[in-house]
Amino acid sequence: MVPLVLFEIVFFVVPLLYLTRISLYSPGGEGAYVAGTWSIQSYVEVVTSELILGLIAFTVKFTLVVTAVTLVLATLLSYAIWRADGVLKTVLLFAVILPLLTTLVVKLYSWLVLLSPIGPFNSLLMGAGVIERPMILVNNFFGTVVGQVYTALPYATLAVYSVMSTLEWETVEAARDLGASRPRAFFEVVLPQTLPGLSVATVVTFAWGVGAYAAPALLGSASERTFAIEVERLILRQFNWPVAAALSIVLLVFVLITILIMFSLINRWGGEEMHV
């Protein structure tokens, strides 16, 4: 137990305390901050800057869209894997796990090629006569969402499937025998029992979305700026470490509060079996 506590302190508590200390330095001076000072100026700038508040609003909107789309796709894919048999089940599971074996940047660059105006997706639609000219699918909000959903989907799917795979199909058949339609049996029998996996998938996807960097940077434009992109700009371009650290602390607190609210709502609305 002692080694585990030491590990947590050295690799989690100490870096967090150091980040908090940097956020309380005064910005400016010859370096990234004025050493030996104490100030809440960085936090004041974070909560009063229209630029940062707009960035926060975009990040929240982006994260909610990504989380909603990812949960729907993860649930459908998990259900398909659960109901599949033999080789098909293996193929579907391998399709979910395969993206995890490739680096994130490579995967996102592949989407940059697929969604480009001269890429396969536009070529396919134009060849089928669906569109007359290429659509702009990258360097915008759509491309950013696609990249982030693709990043989080394998993790969300595995979280949901790990719970769904423990369910008994006989309970669904019993609901059908009692007159429930297939959609009603799914929403009233399968979905409530999958709530623990959905909650984990929600937390993972939400946290990844709030801290997204690679997808907005590679598939978005200057308008798709998230917390992480702004922190990178403050550190490497403006050399303003205190504000960057303050923004990081605000991000961390925001994520923790949101996760606590999520679990509270889940426990209140049908998640009695879940405990945080």
CA quadruple 96, 101, 102, 103: dihedral sign: positive
Look up the CATH number of the domain holding residue 211. 1.10.3720.10
Residue bearing the bigger pLDDT, 102 or 142: 142
Question: Is residue 12 a contact partner of residue 18, using CB atoms and an 8 Å limit?
Answer: no
Whether residue 50 is contained in a domain is answered as no
pLDDT tens-digit readout, 1-12:
778 889 888 888
Q: Quick one: pLDDT at residue 270?
A: 54
Q: What percent of the chain has pLDDT over 90?
A: 45
Range of the domain at 73: 56-240
Q: Quick one: pLDDT at residue 159?
A: 95
* Alpha carbon separation from 34 to 115, 118, 168, 225, 255 (Å, rounded): 46, 50, 62, 28, 29
Whether residue 19 is contained in a domain is answered as no
Whether residue 102 is contained in a domain is answered as yes
At residue 275 the predicted structure's pLDDT band, cuts being 50, 70 and 90, is very low
Whether residue 43 is contained in a domain is answered as no
Q: Quick one: pLDDT at residue 58?
A: 92
Q: What is the mean pLDDT of the chain?
A: 88
Whether residue 135 is contained in a domain is answered as yes
Q: Quick one: pLDDT at residue 274?
A: 46
Closest C-alpha among 78, 52, 104, 92 to residue 246? 52
Mean pLDDT of 78-106: 92
DSSP codes, 10-37: IIIIHHHHHHHHHHTSBS-SSSSSBTT-
Whether residue 263 is contained in a domain is answered as no
Whether residue 12 is contained in a domain is answered as no
Q: Quick one: pLDDT at residue 68?
A: 96
Ramachandran assignment for 128, one of left (phi > 0), alpha (psi -120 to 50 degrees), beta (any other): alpha
Question: Is residue 271 a contact partner of residue 199, using CB atoms and an 8 Å limit?
Answer: yes
Q: Phi/psi of residue 26, each to 5°? A: -85, 130
Whether residue 152 is contained in a domain is answered as yes
Q: Quick one: pLDDT at residue 269?
A: 63
Mean pLDDT of 53-78: 93
Mean pLDDT of 17-38: 84
pLDDT tens-digit readout, 225-270:
888 898 998 888 888 899 999 999 988 898 889 888 887 877 776 5
Residues in the chain: 276
Rounded CA Rg of the chain: 22
pLDDT tens-digit readout, 14-26:
999 999 999 999 8
Overall domain count for the chain: 1
